[in-house]
């Protein structure tokens, strides 16, 4: 896939009530974690959205609005857009477990014809904890 011109980061609405999104944006800016494959020297626009809350149904409306505005007010086309599921949605982490509606969210993104990738910030601490424990300490087995 060619370098996208626009990246949309989809974040958990519940997590965003207490998370500024700094680490996701910082990972994008520094091309780390889920953004490490993108060249630093090419301009890429960034938009962050929340899913709108469980079950994530607002995602479809938000993406529809975004794509309509994109077509009308830019020279960027949908194939040049990649949606990244924020790590708070697609991975277990200190915010909580992986989103129980993750598969549904992927369907909604695919319905809009957008490419998607998993992950934004990849925390070394979280990766070590997943590797060592196989789960988070708050998760009951």
Within a domain: residue 70? yes
Residue with tokens 């990738």: 117
Within a domain: residue 140? no
Count the domains in the chain. 1
What is the rounded average pLDDT for all residues in the chain? 90
Within a domain: residue 141? no
CA distance 50 to 130: 25
Within a domain: residue 37? yes
Three-state DSSP at 63 gives helix
* Domain range for 93: 6-122
CA distance 86 to 121: 8
Q: What is the pLDDT at residue 94?
A: 73
Q: What is the pLDDT at residue 129?
A: 67
Within a domain: residue 127? no
- Tell me which of 127 and 62 has the higher pLDDT: 62
pLDDT above 70 coverage of the chain, percent: 87
Within a domain: residue 130? no
Within a domain: residue 110? yes
Q: What is the pLDDT at residue 101?
A: 97
- The mean-pLDDT minimum among 14-23, 57-66, 103-112 falls in 14-23
Instruction: Check: pTM over 0.95? Answer yes or no.
Output: no
Structure confidence by residue, pLDDT tens digits, 87-98: 999 988 777 788
Q: Is the predicted pLDDT of residue 138 greater than 70, yes or no?
A: no
Residue with tokens 């087995």: 141
CA distance 84 to 109: 10
Within a domain: residue 36? yes
Residue with tokens 């989809």: 10
């Amino acid at each position: 896939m060619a370098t996208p011109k626009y990246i949309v980061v989809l974040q958990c609405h519940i997590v965003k009530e207490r998370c500024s999104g700094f680490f996701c944006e910082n990972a994008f800016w520094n091309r780390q974690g889920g953004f490490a494959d993108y060249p630093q020297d090419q301009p890429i626009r960034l938009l962050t959205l929340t899913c709108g809350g469980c079950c994530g149904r607002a995602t479809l409306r938000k993406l529809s609005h975004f794509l309509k505005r994109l077509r009308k007010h830019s020279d960027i086309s949908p194939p040049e857009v990649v949606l990244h599921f924020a790590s708070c949605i697609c991975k277990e982490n200190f915010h909580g477990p992986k989103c129980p509606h993750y598969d549904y969210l992927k369907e909604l993104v695919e319905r809009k014809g957008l490419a998607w990738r998993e992950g934004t910030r990849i925390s070394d601490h979280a990766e070590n904890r997943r590797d060592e424990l196989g789960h988070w300490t708050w998760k009951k087995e």
